[in-house]
Amino acid sequence: MKYVISIFIFVLFASSVFAQFPLVWDDSTYLALRYEGELQVPQSTIDRIEAERALITNAFPVVSHIWVFREWDPGVAECGLTEEAWADFNAGGLQELRNIAAQHQCFFWNPSSSLNSLEIRSMLPLNSERLAELFAGVEGVRYCYAYKSLCCDGPTIEVLDLGLTSRYLYRYAWGDCLMGCQASHYWQFLVSGGEVSLEAEWGVVSDETQSWGSVKALFR
């Protein structure tokens, strides 16, 4: 019985902690932020990418199992402080850092006294590279960079153009992706007037580009 009570208490604690985190931003949000390169992007850009990705997968089901390999999580930066700044921060100071955090609806998470570092997480979908640059300019911050969400390599999607027409590059990759994938296959799509066309296709050809097989499970 005591184990059941302990598990119940842990679940309540975990729920209260993780309630602080924002929702996991979808792939279209990440793609929009990455393409525009700005701190924030209009919701209309995200909606456009989401709709066009749906058009592509409906027209070409062969790429429906390709997802976005993220280099960073939106709205998350990791910063390291000097000894003096760390002491100041823990005493409630380092006001410039706190002001930037408040302006962008950020909270501090997972502080490490051994490394004098902490994560800064925003409740908004922000470009983490631009967010890190804001904090990196604060006096007493030794470094600050976009928090890397994944290692290695894998299949991914890239937005090439969002003008009057749109272009997307889909990449399927396989073969020891923990060390850098050994093979890749690419599809480049053009979206115009609600229609999708395959502009180019290249790369290694194998059964995986047709049937996918069990290899895709390696990347999930």
**For residue 8, what pLDDT band results from cuts at 50, 70 and 90?**
very low
Task: Inform me whether the pLDDT recorded for 134 exceeds 70.
Answer: yes
Contact 171, 94 (CB under 8 A): no
Contact 32, 46 (CB under 8 A): yes
Nearest to 184 by CA among 196, 170, 199: 170
Task: Inform me whether the pLDDT recorded for 12 exceeds 50.
Answer: no
Q: What is the mean pLDDT of the chain?
A: 84
The hierarchical CATH code for the domain 76-146 is 3.30.70
pLDDT of res. 153: 74
Domain parsing of the chain, residue ranges: 21-31+42-70+151-219, 76-146
